[in-house]
Amino acid sequence: MKIIVPCKRVPDPDQKLRLNPEATDIDTAALTYILNPFDAIAVEEALRIRETAKPDAEIIAVSIAPAEGEADLRTALAMGADRALLVEHDDTLDPWNVARLLAAVIERKQPELVLMGKQAVDDDANQTGQFLAAQLGWPQATFASQIEFVDDGLLVHRETDLGIEVIRTSLPAVVTADLRLNEPRYASLPSILRAKKKSIEQTTPAELGVQPEPHVRLIGMQLINSQRNCEKVETATELLTKLREAEVIG
């Protein structure tokens, strides 16, 4: 069985972000990038599927990124993915166009399962998996917290606000990973060294026959003011006075 894991390269969300001088986007100058943590969970799940239910599984990590995106595909390879494909593209894409490119890759690779993060931690759009399933005409199981192979399909636990929903889907399907699906592994030393030697397949949107057509335009960005102005108060009365002054309480 072939499993495709789309892997997004995202700025490390724990670093301090700055805006570019035009305030149209974050300043990418000194950013550190990582593999989207939800996609790392998807990679881990694919590895576990290969270790248990489907020993013959072939795991292909796919990223749409500038050439430097190779580094994050190496992360997936070092964790244990079999192969990697980089769709080289420099500009930011909206989820619809990411899904179109992924759909083109999937038509060529013919996987039985697409496992991906439920969202990327940079834009938090939570749309790509859903768009992709729609474009492919495949069933989707989003926010998976448990995946089990039954008969010819999957039994997927989904975490919703109302409780855990258990759904059954046929294959091929798109499954998006939630936070509690698993805890991803770190790469072992031999695995990192092996991953370094692996070649990464390269392609471009043009080769895939897809011309990105932006549906979303980013017109501006603002940083959230997270400056805390702490003040120490001596008594509860003083605290109440301050809270009233700030109109936090009536």
* Residue ranges in contact with another protein by CB under 8 A: 12, 14-16, 18, 30, 34-35, 40, 74-75, 78-79, 183-189, 191-192, 195
Pairing mode, if any, of strands 113-117 and 83-88?
Answer: unpaired
In whole angstroms, the minimum distance from the beta carbon of 190 to another protein comes to 8
> Of 18 and 108, which CB lies nearer to another protein in the complex structure?
18
> Of 29 and 246, which CB lies nearer to another protein in the complex structure?
29
- Helical H runs in the chain? 37-51, 70-79, 95-109, 128-136, 189-197, 236-245
In whole angstroms, the minimum distance from the beta carbon of 58 to another protein comes to 20
- Which residues face 169 on adjacent strands? 154
Q: Which two tokens stand for residue 82?
A: 């079999």
In 3D space, the residue among 92, 100, 81, 117 whose CA is nearest the CA of residue 195 turns out to be 81
DSSP one-letter code for 49 = H
In whole angstroms, the minimum distance from the beta carbon of 187 to another protein comes to 4
**Residue 148 CA neighbour count, 13 Å, CB half:** 10
> Of 162 and 186, which CB lies nearer to another protein in the complex structure?
186
In whole angstroms, the minimum distance from the beta carbon of 15 to another protein comes to 6
> Of 155 and 192, which CB lies nearer to another protein in the complex structure?
192
